């Protein structure tokens, strides 16, 4: 993912506030710089980054510093990109990713709506539970496929073997066929064959 480049007409210098900068208020340690890059990589806005740095370290940064020294910096781009890829590749650590957690949350909402005798909310929560259980599109499949997107071919092969072994142990493998298909033109024989 490429970060946006600064416009070519961006000013070469920025006018400092009267009294200049208090260097003690913006000088960051390496740990603080990495923390700041992690926040940017995790898609925090510049304002959120400033707030988090102040909350965590008691240091007041300007939005311009975050934008110019980190977001637009070639020096920090690889670090930010590393954190961004790490962040986007993990779903399991988000509680809402798990179906059971979502169903439990919906059940609590249902019980609350029921105790408040809110018929609209009861119907809405019941409908959401139905969609969660029966499916309402391919979003769950997309999330699962994204989990495997960052795996190497060797890791995918290993995972496939693990799943097949598990299915064999459970006696479910007899009903499963694997088919290889060559891509080709629509309407022509695609050479599908059992493997």
pLDDT of residue 180: 56
Distance CA 37, CA 180 (A): 44
Average pLDDT value over all residues in the chain: 75
Q: Does residue 7 carry a pLDDT above 50?
A: no
Residue 195 CB coordination number (10 Å): 6
Predicted confidence at residue 16, as pLDDT, reads: 38
Question: Residue 171 — very low, low, confident or very high, per pLDDT cuts 50/70/90?
Answer: low
Spatial separation of the C-alpha atoms in residues 171 and 155, rounded to whole Å: 24
The token pair at 193 is: 């064959």
pLDDT score for 90: 80
Question: pLDDT, tens digit, for every residue of 84-104?
Answer: 988 888 877 778 888 888 888
Task: Identify the pLDDT of residue 53.
Answer: 93
pLDDT score at 172: 59
Residue that wins the pLDDT comparison between 19 and 33? 33
Residue 173: band (very low, low, confident or very high) from pLDDT cuts 50, 70, 90 = low
66 against 91, higher pLDDT: 66
Judged against a pLDDT cut of 60, whether residue 20 lies above it is answered with no
- In this predicted structure, the answer to whether residue 2 has a pLDDT above a threshold of 60 is no
Long-range CB contacts for residues 53-57, cutoff 8 Å, separation at least 24: 57/32
Q: How confident is the model at residue 140 (pLDDT cuts 50, 70, 90)?
A: very low
Would the pTM of this model clear 0.75, i.e. be above it? Answer: no
């Amino acid at each position: 993912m490429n970060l946006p480049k600064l416009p070519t007409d961006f000013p070469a210098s920025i006018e400092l506030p009267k009294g200049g900068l208090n260097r003690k208020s913006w000088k960051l340690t390496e740990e603080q710089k990495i923390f700041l890059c992690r926040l940017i990589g995790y898609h925090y806005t510049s304002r959120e980054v400033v707030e988090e740095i102040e909350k965590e370290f008691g240091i007041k940064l300007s939005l311009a510093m975050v934008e110019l020294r980190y977001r637009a910096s070639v020096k920090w781009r690889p670090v930010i990109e590393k954190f961004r890829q790490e962040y986007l590749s993990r779903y399991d650590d988000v509680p809402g990713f798990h179906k059971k957690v979502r169903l439990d949350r919906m059940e609590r909402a249902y019980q609350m709506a029921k105790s408040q005798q809110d018929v609209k909310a009861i119907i809405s929560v019941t409908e959401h539970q139905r969609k969660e259980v029966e499916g309402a599109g391919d979003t769950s499949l997309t999330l699962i496929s994204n989990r495997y997107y960052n795996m190497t071919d060797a890791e995918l092969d290993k995972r496939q073997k693990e799943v097949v072994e598990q299915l064999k142990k459970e006696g479910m493998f007899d009903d499963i066929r694997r088919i290889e298909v060559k891509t080709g033109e629509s309407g022509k024989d695609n050479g599908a064959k059992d493997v």
